[in-house]
Amino acid sequence: MLRGLLILFISACFLFSCSKKAELNPSPTSLITEGNAFATSSRILNQVYGLYSTFKQTGLYGSEYPVYSDIRAGDFISTNLNPNIGALTYQCVVESGSPEVNLIWQQAYQLINGCNVFLAGMEKSGRAVVGDSLTANYEAEVRGLRAIAYYSMLQLYAQPYTKDNGASPGLPLRLTANAGLANYSLKRSSVADVYARILTDLDSAEIGLPLKYSTALINTTRLHKNSVIAFKTRVDLTMGKYDKVIAEASKIVSSSAPYTAVASGGVANALESDITVVFKSPYTSLESVFSVPFSSNDIPGVPLASYYLPVLADATGLGTVGQGQYYLYAGGIVADAQWTATDKRRGFLFTTPSGGSTGRQWLTKYKVGTPFTDNCPVIRYSEVLLNLSEALLRLNGDASIPTAKNLLGAVRHRSDASYVIAAATTPDLLSAILEERHIEFLGEGLRNTDLMRLGLDIPAKSPAGSISVAAVPATAGNYIWPLPNAELLYNPGL
C-alpha cells in the first residue's frame, strides 16, 4: 500500500508541475486587450465614444478647462481661496507644480495620444473591419477632437498667436501612437506650428465627417461637418485670421437673418429663440453645436454647477445648491450697465437674498443639482455669429457695420428684444461685440481667450472686504501658465 501511495504522490506532483500556460497568461475578464480592441465594428464605435469620454474628463470639458479659463479672467471671486479648487489660477499664481497645471495638460495629452493610438489602430486593423467610409468618418471625428484638445491647451500654456504671429513656444506636437517605455523627448513646436496642425486636422475632419447623425442627441454630442466648421471660426478668430473666419462661417451662416446653417445641408444649426432652453434638458437645441453630455450614471468629476451654484445657506429660494466655490465679482461684467435688467441672461444670475452673503451674485447657467448632470458646452451657434460679426468688422471696417450689427443684434435681441445697439463706429461696435461675448458666454470658458487674443490685461479682482488680486499685464510672466512639472522634469527635449 505504501508503495502505491508513494507512486500516487509522485505522479500527482508531476501532474501538477506541468506548465500552466493558460493560467500564466490570463485574459482579463473586464478589460479588452490591445489585440481585440479593433476586432468588431461595435468595439470600434465604442472606442470613438471612448475618446469623447476622455474628452469630458475633469481636466478638459468635464469642467476644469472652461472653469479655470473663467475664474482667472475677472468675473469671478473665489469664496475660500482653496488651492485645490482653483485658487492659484484665480490669483494668477499657478506654478509648475500646481494641480490644475498638471491635470489639464495631462488629460489633454491623454486624449491626444488616445486619438493617435486610435488612428494607428484603424489603419492597422480597424479599416478592414468597418470599411473605408466609416473609417473616414471616425478618423475625421478623432482628428477633430485632437484639434480641440490642442487648441484648448494653447489658450493656457502658450502666448497668443496674435502677439507675434505664433513665433512663441507652443506645445510638443504629438501625432504618433505612444505606448510603453520609449524615448519621448520632444521639443515644443511654435504656436504657429500647433495652430497649423489644428487647422489641418479640422480641415480633414470637415472632409471626412458626416453631415449629420440620426438623432438630435448625437448631433449635439458628436462632431459633424458643421461643428468642426464652427470650431474653425473660433480657431481663426483666435489667430486673427479674419478672412478665414468669414470663409468658414459663411458655410454655416445664412447671409441674412434668421441666421441658420440650413443651407449647409448638414445639421440645421440656428439660434434658439430662448437662450435658457440651451441650458436645459434635453440639451439638444440646434444652437448647441457641440456640448458634452452627462447622466446620473456618468457624472462629471468636479461638475460645473458645483463650482458656481451657491451653498444652501446662500441659496434661499433658488431651489438648487452647489458648493459655492466661485461667485460673481460685483465689479465684473455683472456691473455692466448695458446688460439691462430685462435681459433674459440676467436670469442666469441669482442674488443671495438673506444671511451672511446677502447680495452676492451667483451664476446659475448650470442649474442641475446633485449629481450635476448639466451638459458642458463646447461651442454654440451664437458664438459663430459673433465670430463672424467681429471678423467682418475687423477685416472690412465700416463697410461691414450693418451686417455685423445684424449678427450682433441676432444674439442680443433674442435675450433683450428692446435693446438698441447704439454703436455706430467700427471701434464702438467691436467693443459692443466683445461685451456681448462677455455676457453671452459667461461661465463657458471663452473670456480668457478673448482677453489674450486681443492682448488685453487680465483685470484685477477687488472684492469688498477680501483680498484683492492685482491685474496681470499681457507682458507679465504669469499671463500664461507654465508647463507642468511632469513635463519639465521628464522631457529633456524641451
Partner 1 sequence: MTDEMKTALRLIIWLLLFTGSLSVPAELSAEMPEKKISIKGENLSLRDIFRIIEKQSDYQFFYNSKLIEQLKPVTLNVLNAKVEQVMDLCCKDQPVHYRIVDKIIILEETKKQELAAPEPAVLSVMAMTVGGKVVNKDGEPMEGVTVTDKTSRAVTRTVKDGTFSISASPGDVLQFTSVGYEMVEVRVKAKPETIKVSMVEAVKTLDETVVIAYGTTTARANTGSVSRVKGTDIAATPVQSFDAGLAGRATGVNITATSGVVNQAPVFRIRGTNSLSLSSYPLIVIDGVPAYTDDVNVGGNAMNNPLSAINPNDIESIDIAKDAAATSLYGSRAANGVVFVTTKKGRPGKAKLTYNGSVAYSKAVRAAPVLNGDQYLEIKNEGLVNAGTYDAVKNYYGNSIGPDGKIIRTNWFDYLFRTGLFHTNSVSVSGANETTKYYASLGYTGQNGILKGNDYNRKSVLFNFEHKVGSWLIVGNRTNYANDLTDSKLSTGQGATNTAANSVAYRMALISAPIIGPYNKDGSYNYTGLNLGLQDNQGHLTSTARMGYTNPVITLKYNQDNTGNNFIQSNSFLSLIPLKRLVLKTAYGIDNIYSRTERYFDPRSDEGYTANGSATGISAKREKWVWTNTANYSFDVKEHHFDLLAGEEQQKFTGDQFGLVRSGQTDPAYVNIQGGFSSVAITSTQDQVFYQYLESAFSRFQYDFDQKYQFSASLRRDQSSLLGKNNKSGLFWGFSGGWEVSKENFWEKSGLSKTVNFLKLKGSYGKVGNLSGITDFQTLSTYAAALYGGVAALAYSASGNADLKWETSKKTDVGLLLGFWDNRLSAELSLYKNDIDGLIFAVPVPSSAGIPGASPNTVLSNVGKMYNKGIEIGLNGEVIRGKVFNWQAGLNVSFNKNEITALTATVKQLLISSIGGAADQFSISQVGHPVGMIFAIRTAGVDVQTGRRIFLDQSGRKVLYTQVAAAGRYNWEYTDGTQAAAITAANDGVPYKRTNPKLYGGFTTRLRYKQFDLDLLMTFQAGGYMYYGTQGTLMDARFSNNSTKILHRWQKPGDVTDVPRLMDGDFTSWGYSMPVTSNVYSSNYLRMKNVTVGYNFSPLVLSHLQISGIRAYAGVQNLFILTPYPGADPEVTSAGNGTVTQGFDRNMNPNARIVSMGLQVNF
Consecutive H or E run containing 90: helix 87-90
Binding segment (CB under 8 A) for partner 1, from list 20-28, 193-201, 229-237, 424-432: 20-28
Binding residue (CB under 8 A) for partner 1 from 185, 200, 215, 273: 185
Contact residue for partner 1 among 155, 221, 284, 285 (CB under 8 A): 221
The distance of closest approach from Cβ of residue 421 to partner 1 in the complex, given in angstroms and rounded to an integer, is: 37
* 6 belongs to the binding site for partner 1 (CB under 8 A): yes
**DSSP for residue 288:** E
Least distance in angstroms from the C-beta of 380 to partner 1: 18
Q: Which of 74, 170, 172, 266 binds partner 1 (CB under 8 A)?
A: 172
Residue with cell 435658457: 276
Among 200, 353, 466, 473, binds partner 1 (CB under 8 A): 466
Residue 477 sits in the site that holds partner 1 (CB under 8 A): yes
Q: Where are the beta strands (DSSP E) in 329-432?
A: 349-351, 361-363, 376-380
DSSP string, 66-79: HHHHHHTTTSEEES
Closest to partner 1 by CB, 269 vs 352, is 352
- How far is the C-alpha of 102 from the C-alpha of 110, rounded, in Å? 12
Enumerate residues 258-297 that contact partner 1 by CB under 8 A.
292-297
Nearer to partner 1, 168 or 316 (CB): 316
Q: Is residue 184 a contact residue for partner 1 (CB under 8 A)? A: yes
User: Is residue 118 a contact partner of residue 143, using CB atoms and an 8 Å limit?
Assistant: no
187-216 residues near partner 1, rule: CB under 8 A: none
Piece of the chain touching partner 1 by CB under 8 A; list 50-58, 387-395, 400-408, 427-435: 50-58
- Please report how close the Cβ of residue 253 comes to partner 1 at its closest, in angstroms: 28
Q: Is 478 in the site for partner 1 (CB under 8 A)?
A: yes
Residue 475 DSSP SS3 = coil
Strands (E), 227-386: 288-292, 326-328, 349-351, 361-363, 376-380
| Cβ neighbour number for residue 294 with a 10 Å cutoff | 20
With CB under 8 A as the contact rule, the residue among 219, 238, 323, 364 that binds partner 1 is 323
Please give the angle made by the CA atoms of 269, 244 and 141, to the nearest 5 degrees: 55
User: Does residue number 49 form part of the binding site for partner 1 (CB under 8 A)?
Assistant: yes
Considering the complex, state which of residue 256 and residue 295 has its C-beta at the smaller distance from partner 1.
Answer: 295
Residues touching partner 1, count (CB under 8 A): 113
Residue 356: count other Cβ atoms within 10 Å of its Cβ.
8
Q: Is position 118 an interface residue for partner 1 (rule: CB under 8 A)? A: yes
Nearer to partner 1 by C-beta: 93 or 128?
93
Cell of residue 450, nine digits = 478673448
Q: Binding of partner 1 at residue 175 (CB under 8 A)?
A: no
84 binds partner 1 (CB under 8 A): yes
If one asks whether residue 123 binds partner 1 (CB under 8 A), the answer comes out as no
Kindly tell me which of 16 and 420 has the beta carbon lying closer to partner 1. 16
Contact 453, 238 (CB under 8 A): yes
Q: Which of residues 422-451 bind partner 1 (CB under 8 A)?
A: none
Handedness of CA 22, 24, 25, 27 (dihedral sign): positive
Binding status of residue 129 toward partner 1 by CB under 8 A: no
When asked if residue 407 is in the footprint of partner 1 (CB under 8 A), the reply is: no
Select the residue interacting with partner 1 from 11, 41, 80, 200 (CB under 8 A). Answer: 80
Please name the residues in contact with 192: beta carbons below 8 A apart, sequence gap of 6 or more: 161, 165, 166, 167, 170
Q: Among residues 135, 245, 133, 261, which one has the least CA distance to residue 199?
A: 245
From the CB of 284, what's the least distance to partner 1, in Å? 11
Site for partner 1 in 23-42 (CB under 8 A): 23-26, 28-34, 37
Phi, psi (5° rounding) for residue 144?
A: -60, -45
Give the neighbor-by-neighbor strand order of the sheet with 76-78. Answer: 76-78, 326-328, 361-363, 349-351
Interface with partner 1, residue 169, by CB under 8 A: no
Alpha-carbon distance values, 74 to 48, 70, 81, 428, 476 (Å): 36, 7, 15, 22, 16
CB 424 to partner 1: min, Å: 40
Q: What stretches of 259-312 adopt beta strand conformation (E)?
A: 288-292
Grid cell locating 63? 469642467
Choose between 78 and 233: whose C-beta lies nearer to partner 1: 78
98 part of the interface to partner 1, by CB under 8 A: yes
List the interface residues with partner 1, window 343-372 (CB under 8 A): 355-358, 369-371
Q: Is 418 exposed, middle or buried (0-12, 13-18, 19+ CB in 10 A)?
A: exposed
Under the binding rule (CB under 8 A), the answer on residue 114 touching partner 1 is yes
With CA atoms as reference, report the closest residue to 382 among 292, 249, 280, 283: 249
Binding of residue 19 to partner 1 (CB under 8 A): yes
Residue among 99 and 169 whose Cβ is closer to partner 1: 99
Site for partner 1 contains 112 (CB under 8 A): yes
**Residue 335, all three cell numbers:** 456691473
**SS3 state at 377:** strand
Applying CB under 8 A, among 76, 105, 161, 329 the residue interacting with partner 1 is 105
